[in-house]
Amino acid sequence: MLDNLLFVVFPYVAVLLAFGVSIYRYFANRFSYSSLSSEILEKDWLFWGAVPWHYGVVPTLLIHLAGFAVPGLLAILHGTANRLYILELIGKAFALLSFAGIVVLILRRLTHSRIRALTSVMDWVVLVLLLNQIFLGLWLTFFYRWGAAWYIHTATPWVVSLATFHPQPGYVTALPLVPRLHFLNATLLIAVFPFSRLVHLVTFPITYLYRRLQIVIWYLRPAH
């Protein structure tokens, strides 16, 4: 019963929240559809946190999505021990880069009073969830070897079964505790996504493609 609640009901609720609330928020408060950057308050820590975070998490996220979209291709890439070993090392590097970035971003908000004052409860929730997700991912890479290979035989068919409305939680419920916590934490991130700054992930300046050109004229007053 608990397995069905956590690995069947919870994912569906999370996805419904992600889509439904995101759409409502876009039309009800479009201005909030932003990362609401605090760069104007502090730049140095932001650079050393945001750059490694994005360079680490974006490839990691794309690799995970590839496991759902093209599992056959990943299976071919992991087909030999040498390639699997190299890909595991690359995954570790991206995860460590992400972890370093999120730690710096958290310390930045803890140590700078002006930024801490502007940090909402949801900001802290998301930061903790992201830190936990990367930590669990690192735990998997170091203590549950060859996750890149068994991932496409466990998490992938589980997600596909949910997407096709024939849920098969058995693919993941038989796994050890840490992988299951990793999946549940990811599902929780999906659930809180529309309530947080993470919504900026789905915003694209599409109107730039067809809007009229804007002419910017610099006006410099003569020195007196």
Q: Which domains does the chain have, with CATH numbers?
A: 2-209 (1.20.950.20)
Indicate whether 118 pLDDT > 90: no
Residue 2 has which token pair? 């608990």
CA-CA distance, 94 to 84, in Å (whole number)? Answer: 15
**Cβ atoms of 137 and 95 closer than 8 Å:** yes
Per-residue model confidence as pLDDT tens digits over 13-32: 999 999 999 888 888 887 77
Say which residue, 34 or 111, is predicted with more confidence: 111
Per-residue model confidence (pLDDT) at position 223: 60
Token output for 151:
């991932």
Compute the average pLDDT of residues 135-148.
87
pLDDT at 205: 61
Give buried/exposed letters for 145-167 (b at 16+ CB in 10 A, else e): eebbbebbebbbbbbebbeeeeb
Helices (H), 42-176: 44-69, 71-77, 81-111, 113-117, 121-143, 147-163, 170-173
Using a 10 angstrom Cβ sphere, with 0-12 exposed, 13-18 middle and 19 or more buried, the burial of residue 210 is exposed
pLDDT of residue 4: 92
CB 91 within 8 A of CB 148: yes
* pLDDT of the residue at 214: 67
Specify the pLDDT at position 51: 93
Q: Is the pLDDT of residue 133 over 90?
A: yes
Confidence of residue 138 (pLDDT cuts 50, 70, 90): very high
Cβ neighbour number for residue 69 with a 10 Å cutoff? 11
For residue 41, pLDDT beyond 80: no
pLDDT in tens, 54-65: 999 999 999 888
Per residue in 85-116, pLDDT (tens digit) is: 888 899 899 999 999 999 999 999 999 888 88
Question: What value does the mean pLDDT take over residues 47-55?
Answer: 92
- 96 within 8 A of 138, measured Cβ to Cβ: yes
Residue 116 has a CB neighbour count (10 Å cut-off) of 13
Phi, psi (rounded to 5 degrees) for 29: -150, 70
Contact 55, 97 (CB under 8 A): yes
Counting every residue written for the chain, the total comes to 224
Q: Which residue has the higher pLDDT, 132 or 214?
A: 132
Residue 136 contacts residue 182 (beta carbons within 8 Å): yes
pLDDT tens readout for residues 161-212: 999 999 999 999 999 999 999 999 999 999 999 998 888 777 766 666 666 7
87 Cβ neighbours under 8 A, 6+ residues apart: 77, 78, 148
- Evaluate whether 88 touches 148 at the Cβ level (below 8 Å): yes
Query: What's the pLDDT at 27?
Result: 85
- Decide which of 63 and 133 is more confident: 133
